[in-house]
A = this chain, B = another copy of it.
Amino acid sequence: MSDCTHCALSATCIPAAFKKATLFRFTDIVATNQTATNGEVLYQQEQSCRYLYIIKSGSFKTYLTNADGSEHITAFHLPGDLVGLENISGGVTLSSASSLGNSLYCRAEYHKLGGLRKEFPALSDLAIKLYSEALQQAQNLHLCTSKQSAVSRLAMFLVLQSTRQGRVNNQKTELNLNMSRQDLASHLGLAVETISRSYSQLIKSGCIEKSNRLIHILDLSLLKKFANTD
């Protein structure tokens, strides 16, 4: 079923730029509900960039692979997020993207999207809005990684994830951080052990609970206090 009308995300996703009567023009060029299993790769670094991806469920990471084989995680993507926005200007992927656990996503060719934009100016407006939001997110991340204390960084990261997730499914207190400590550490510029210790601190203070990779936020305002002490 390639019908976006029944998708819960359609209000904020690309279909928002179309009227009911013209939506078929988009559904014609999108491949919806593609499945990805744990570790499955959407695209590899330095390939030619053809598709824009939309996360429907699950989550993805994008990462740079260094010459020595180590990975730097550039972003974690949640349902509703677009993946690949930064690649379009050069036509080449700057990072790789892979699924964290089982995920569902949709995929549209950049080229065809560009064609539709010529016909439907509202699509360009939406694109610019989405890019602008992606930039805001990147700036929030910068705010996070420029914190001096490890606990602040982790706390801020949790607050940001909670906010992002809350926008889509209104579930701000349960975070399913489907990523390894390794990945999280690389993303925040910390050592894995420091992540563990910071978690312990947050748990002892009573603002979160944790079982494996599932985080339960108990006291958001306290968590925010941690995020801002620096």
> Given A127-B128, A131-B135, does the pair A146, B94 have CB atoms closer than 8 Å?
no
Contact in complex: A129, B88 (CB < 8 Å): yes
Report A195 CB to chain B, min CB distance, Å: 13
A80 to B131, CA, bound (A): 19
A87 is an interface residue with CB less than 8 A from chain B: yes
State whether the Cβ of A145 lies closer than 8 Å to any Cβ in chain B: yes
Given contacts A138-B138, A142-B142, A143-B64, whether A132 and B85 have CB atoms under 8 Å apart is yes
- Name the residue among A114, A121, A146 with the largest chain B CB count within 10 angstroms: A146
Residue-by-residue, is A80-122 near B (CB-CB < 8 Å gives 1, otherwise 0)?
0000011111100011000000000000000000100110010
- B-binding residues in A (CB < 8 A): 64, 66, 72, 74-75, 85-90, 94-95, 114, 117-118, 121, 124-125, 127-136, 138-139, 141-143, 145-148, 186-191, 228
